[in-house]
């Protein structure tokens, strides 16, 4: 499985960048782990989205007050404001925003919770799973996951070891 993921990652690295970024769709990535935040930001940027990043839920809330987003991809277990608390704040403020919870442990939601995420990705997830979830939630047909080009400065060996790709 690791060899297959490495081969897929190598194929992605040689794929061309999309000609026209989808500037209409703006994504906020909220993640306290700087490496994962950088990876998610770069892969979504390479997929044609405009991406902003925040290091925790409090910083994300500040960005949500100043900018409009089409989607938020957030971790849950973060300092200051958790992903669930951030979802609650977004809902309480009346902000209509699709959310993907990308986390190591999925929080429990009851059927009556109106602030549930639109999708959940459990870590570790692949680049394909991230982009597919984003596309599904946004319901768009932009760049297929197979056509994503990884930035040339990425050390693929380090990534595959660190994130078990």
Residue ranges covered by each domain of the chain? 20-148
Burial 67-99 (b: 16+ CB within 10 A, else e): eebbbbbbbbebeebbbbbbbebbbeeeeebbb
Q: Are strands 22-30 and 119-122 parallel, antiparallel or unpaired?
A: unpaired
Q: At 97, is the pLDDT very low, low, confident or very high (cuts 50, 70, 90)?
A: very high
Average pLDDT over residues 79-83: 92
- Is the predicted pLDDT of residue 3 greater than 80, yes or no? no
71 falls in which pLDDT band (50, 70, 90)? Answer: very high
Is the pTM above the cut of 0.75?
A: no
Q: What is the mean pLDDT of the chain?
A: 78
Name the pLDDT band for 108 (thresholds 50, 70, 90): confident
Give the pLDDT band (50/70/90) at residue 130.
very high
Confidence check: pLDDT of 12 > 50: no
CA gap 117, 69 in Å, rounded:
15
pLDDT beyond 50 at 165:
no
Pick the more confident residue, 12 or 35: 35
Residue 68 near residue 26, CB atoms below 8 Å: yes
Nearest Cα neighbor of 132 from 140, 29, 118, 117 is 140
Return the CATH number of the domain spanning residue range 20-148: 3.40.50.2300
């Amino acid at each position: 499985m690791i060899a297959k993921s490495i081969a897929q990652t190598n194929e992605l690295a040689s794929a061309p960048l999309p000609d026209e970024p989808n500037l209409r769709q703006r994504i906020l990535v909220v993640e306290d782990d700087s490496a994962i935040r950088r990876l998610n930001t770069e892969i979504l940027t390479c997929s044609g989205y405009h991406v902003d990043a925040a290091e925790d839920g409090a910083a994300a809330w500040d960005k949500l007050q100043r900018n409009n987003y089409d989607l938020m991809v957030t971790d849950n277990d973060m300092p200051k404001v958790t992903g669930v608390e951030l979802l609650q704040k977004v809902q309480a403020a009346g902000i209509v925003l699709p959310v993907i919870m990308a986390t190591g442990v999925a929080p429990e939601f009851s059927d009556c919770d109106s602030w549930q995420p639109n999708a959940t990705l459990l870590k570790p997830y692949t680049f394909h799973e991230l982009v597919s979830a984003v596309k599904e939630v946004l319901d768009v047909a932009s760049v297929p996951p197979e056509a994503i080009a990884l930035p040339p400065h990425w050390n693929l060996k380090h990534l595959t070891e660190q994130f078990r790709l």
